Each structure stands twice: as structure tokens, then as C-alpha cells.
Amino acid sequence: MNVSLKPFDFAQAVARAGLDKNGMPVQKGKAVEKSDFSAALTSALKTVSSSQNTAAEMQRQVQMDNPTVSIEETMVAMQKAQIGFQATLQVRNKLVQAYSDIMNMSV
């Protein structure tokens, strides 16, 4: 498994977010293509879960003295899984806070 870090590509990140180079939404015809928040959240959760499972498996392999799995790769995979989990936790906290704020608004 390749766990090397890749340089951040800002242009690719902007394109994935559905924005043009100026930060404006990319328009198809007259309507802006809407992204499905539920699908994006589900995909992100699956990715975090997958990275946690990979890190756990690598950790097991290191504990069993598998010569093909290095401790360095395992530690990087574990840190990536931890960062992904912490980011997911922060998003969840922000969503709960936003829900609470909306529910406490007076009408």
C-alpha cells in the first residue's frame, strides 16, 4: 500500500468543489449543478472508515512481524486515520451546533 504524501493541488481542489478559478460556482447553462450533501457525507465517512480499517490491519501485520509492512508506513497510515477521524468529529460537532441554533431560534 502506498501511503506517500502528495503535494496539495489547489486547482484540483477548486474543480472538485465545483468552482471556477475565481471561486464562483461553475454554471451549466443557467442552472448551477447542485451537489448532494448526503452523498458527499456518506462518501467521506466511508473514506475515513476505510483508512481506519487499513491502519488497523497494518498495525496487526506489524505486530505479527510481517516483513513486508514497515513501522513507518503503519505510523503514517495511523496518523492519516486519526486526522480523518478528528476532521469528521469536528464536522459532526458543527452540524449538531447548527441544528441546535436553528431549533432555538424564535419564530
pLDDT tens by residue, 6-20: 666 666 666 766 777
Kindly state whether residue 2 falls inside one of the protein's structural domains: no
More confident position, 55 or 2: 55
pLDDT of the residue at 56: 96
Nearby residues of 93 by Cβ (< 8 Å), 6 or more positions away: none
Kindly state whether residue 44 falls inside one of the protein's structural domains: yes
Q: How far apart are CA 47 and CA 81, in angstroms?
A: 9
Kindly state whether residue 69 falls inside one of the protein's structural domains: yes
Range of the domain at 98: 35-103
pTM given for the model? 0.61
Rounded mean pLDDT, 36-55: 90
pLDDT confidence tier of residue 38, bands split at 50, 70 and 90: confident
Nearby residues of 19 by Cβ (< 8 Å), 6 or more positions away: 25, 26
Q: How far apart are CA 80 and CA 59, in angstroms?
A: 13
Kindly state whether residue 49 falls inside one of the protein's structural domains: yes
pLDDT of the residue at 32: 44
Kindly state whether residue 68 falls inside one of the protein's structural domains: yes
Kindly state whether residue 28 falls inside one of the protein's structural domains: no
Whether 39 shows a pLDDT value over 50: the answer reads yes
77 with 54: CB under 8 angstroms?
yes
- Provide the β-strand partners of residue 19: 25
Kindly state whether residue 22 falls inside one of the protein's structural domains: no
Kindly state whether residue 63 falls inside one of the protein's structural domains: yes
